[in-house]
Amino acid sequence: MPAEDRGLIFTAPLFHEKIWGGRRLADDFGYQIPDGPIGECWAISAHPAGDCVVLEGPLAGRRLSELWVEHHELFGRAKGDRFPLLVKILDAEEDLSIQVHPGDAYAAEHEGGSLGKCECWYVLHADPGASIVVGQRARNRDECAELISRGAWDRLLNVVDVHAGDFFQIDPGTVHAIRGGTMVLETQQSSDVTYRVYDYDRVQDDGSKRELHLQQSLDVIDYEAEPLSSGEVTASEVDGRTRLVSCPYYTVDRLRVDGHMTLESPQTFWCVSVVSGSGRVGERPLSRGEHFVVPAGHEELDLGGNMELIVSGVPAA
């Protein structure tokens, strides 16, 4: 595809009902969401469980997964057999299950060739006194299994106070749970593999309980990881840009635009989410809750206004 045709790829969000979800995605972001407890907005995704459609421009109506296969030049030297990232907004009106995700090797072997799930959270909203679970205190599999069997959650789980603007990197093997009263923007590998450790004995509408995955969880928990005590961002902000994380799967930056900012052309691609404020990219207006992909070979982005963006990318092959 010629460079001059590589416009920004705005995607239409997809919404998923969850037992723990609420209505904040409509109330705060103005999304037109289905009835019921909506927990997840899949904002930029090519996963089979939610494959976003391009909203505008010459590629309008195409799915992101199609572009990855048929126009891979849009993504530069990004590697892999599938679009590698999934960007979500999660609205937790109630607590999510206590859960853990596998890494690539375990998922490939046990989950039909799926990617593992490394993820991170940028906290958009937290009610006063809100907290989350990040990490656990068992020193080995046997101790963890014993504490789970006894329901000794206070001894096992590492609970951290949470505030808007916090950031958490959730590596595979990290026991975690977003709790009620919290909304986060999540950047993750394009995977939907979750192992539930505990779900509070909740009952679904049909009277059943959601499946737990205790043996898989015990297999993949990282017993050597040190529990976190805070999600406060301590990295320096330089010219409005803060590097929140850089890991083998992605980089994530927070951009604070106050007037004007230029974003360089990516080697692979950028996923961009407007999480607060409003402004423009070039001559196109931008508002909170919009999401787009910047393809490889796109010219520098001229950003203006007063807004906060979360920008993620992947390393080149």
As annotated, the active-site residues are 196
Give the DSSP H/E element, type plus range, for residue 21.
Answer: strand 14-22
CA–CA dist 255, 286 (Å, integer)? 14
Q: Which of 97, 107, 98, 114 is CA-nearest to residue 219?
A: 107
Backbone angles phi and psi of 46, in degrees to 5 = -125, 20
Residue with tokens 């990219």: 281
Give the DSSP H/E element, type plus range, for residue 27.
Answer: helix 24-27
Residue with tokens 């906060």: 308
Long-range contacts (CB closer than 8 Å, 24 or more residues apart) made by 63-71? 64/9, 64/11, 64/293, 67/9, 71/1
The sign of the CA dihedral 266, 271, 276, 281 is positive
Q: DSSP of 140-160, one letter per residue?
A: SHHHHHHHHHHT-HHHHEEEE
Q: DSSP of 35-55, one letter per residue?
A: SS-EEEEEEE-EETTEEPBB-
Paired residues of 78 in beta bridges:
316
CA–CA dist 136, 173 (Å, integer)? 10
The CA-based angle 125-185-78, given to 5 degrees, is 165
Report yes or no: 272 and 282 within 8 Å, Cβ to Cβ: no
Report yes or no: 244 and 122 within 8 Å, Cβ to Cβ: yes
